[in-house]
């Protein structure tokens, strides 16, 4: 697979990375095999996180025996204080079975926690100390807000940034990606398939690969998924006028109130599976009725009991008015399922 320069880190990385969230849903054997298959396909860049269940352990098993210099490993800590981050880092090193992390990211930096993260004794201070100690090569951060992410990028203390970017969530294209190029920062495209909302994988990657200074990191659960994506990337088919028209159609159909399935809105006090309820229409379109019921029926039934406490709204990185959206999704479900 083609390798590209990852900003001023000078790391040579595969054109796509392996995103480590979904393998936490697989057995130890199956999740490990996904990592090994990615390596066989030429993917040398793996992005995971301390918070992703046993993902780091599976990555560690998957890379065992591979020369360390052939790998680029990225992981994350959601800690907001120095000691918490250092504890997470040491645990990640143990789980991955390595002596250092190439790209260590402050995970999901928000406006509400920004001051805490960057205060004396905060997580950022711990990250910079870890760089000095040789446990981390390059400091980085992730953020779901493009404006906030750009503010932090301009401080120019990080070598890599991870922001949402796909053909629906395309705000980064206008300013954040050019800014990363100007600052010579590595750019990881978070949610390249819209958290599972974008079903045409070829269209998604033909769009993304127009941007030569980004590395998409699709979350992969199954062997056939990584094989399909790697095949598309290797084929190198150009983004076409037909692709542009199809994207406009999907954008019109989807609107701007779609759930990214990040689940940062959880937990719900009423036990509502919010992302499953909000994506009920998508399940009905993609799967058989029985399969859709398996994914969303319980969530829809619980959503009928929403108390509109709005705790989920405060947590949603995309500012969705979830209590207002749930009745719409319930009505759609009832109209099609009864």
**Encoded tokens for 161:** 């940034």
CA distances (Å), origin 308, targets 303, 305, 315, 321, 333: 10, 9, 14, 10, 20
**Encoded tokens for 33:** 């095999």
Identify the active-site residue in 52, 167, 207, 283: 52
**What DSSP element (H or E) covers 298?**
helix 289-303
By C-alpha distance, which of 284, 302, 285 is closest to 293? Answer: 284
> What 3-state class would DSSP assign to 101?
strand
> What 3-state class would DSSP assign to 62?
helix
Say how far apart CA 108 and CA 120 lie, in whole Å.
19
Strands 18-19 and 45-47: parallel
- With contact defined as beta carbons under 8 Å apart, do 114 and 124 qualify? no
52 is catalytic: yes
Active-site residues: which are they?
52
């Amino acid at each position: 697979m083609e390798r590209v320069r990852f900003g001023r880190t000078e790391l040579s990385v595969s054109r796509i990375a392996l995103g480590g969230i979904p393998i936490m849903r697989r057995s130890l054997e199956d999740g490990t095999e996904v990592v090994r298959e990615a390596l066989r396909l030429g993917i040398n860049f793996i992005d995971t996180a301390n918070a992703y269940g046993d993902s780091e352990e599976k990555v560690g098993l998957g890379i065992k025996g591979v020369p360390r210099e052939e790998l680029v490993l990225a992981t994350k800590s959601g800690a907001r204080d120095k000691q918490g981050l250092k504890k997470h880092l040491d645990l990640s090193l143990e789980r991955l079975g390595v002596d250092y992390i190439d790209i260590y990211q402050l995970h999901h930096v928000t406006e509400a926690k920004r001051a805490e993260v960057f205060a004396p004794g905060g997580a950022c201070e711990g990250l910079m100390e870890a760089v000095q100690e040789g446990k981390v090569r390059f400091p980085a951060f992730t953020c779901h807000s493009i404006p906030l992410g750009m503010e932090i990028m301009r401080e120019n203390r990080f070598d890599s940034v991870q922001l949402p970017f796909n053909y629906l969530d395309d705000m980064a294209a206008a300013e954040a990606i050019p800014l990363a190029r100007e600052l010579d920062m590595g750019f990881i495209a978070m949610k390249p398939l819209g958290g599972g909302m974008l079903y045409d994988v070829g269209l998604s990657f033909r769009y993304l690969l127009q941007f030569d200074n980004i590395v998409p990191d699709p979350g992969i659960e199954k062997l056939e998924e990584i094989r399909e994506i790697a095949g598309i990337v290797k084929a190198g088919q150009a983004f076409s006028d037909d692709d542009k028209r199809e994207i406009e159609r999907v954008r019109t159909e989807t609107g701007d109130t779609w759930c990214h399935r990040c689940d940062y809105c959880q937990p719900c006090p009423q036990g509502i599976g919010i992302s499953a309820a909000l994506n009920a229409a998508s399940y009905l379109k993609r799967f058989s009725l029985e399969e859709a019921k398996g994914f969303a029926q319980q969530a829809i039934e619980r959503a009928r009991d929403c108390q509109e406490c709005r705790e989920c709204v405060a947590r949603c990185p995309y500012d969705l008015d979830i209590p207002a959206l749930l009745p719409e999704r319930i009505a759609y479900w009832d109209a099609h399922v009864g």
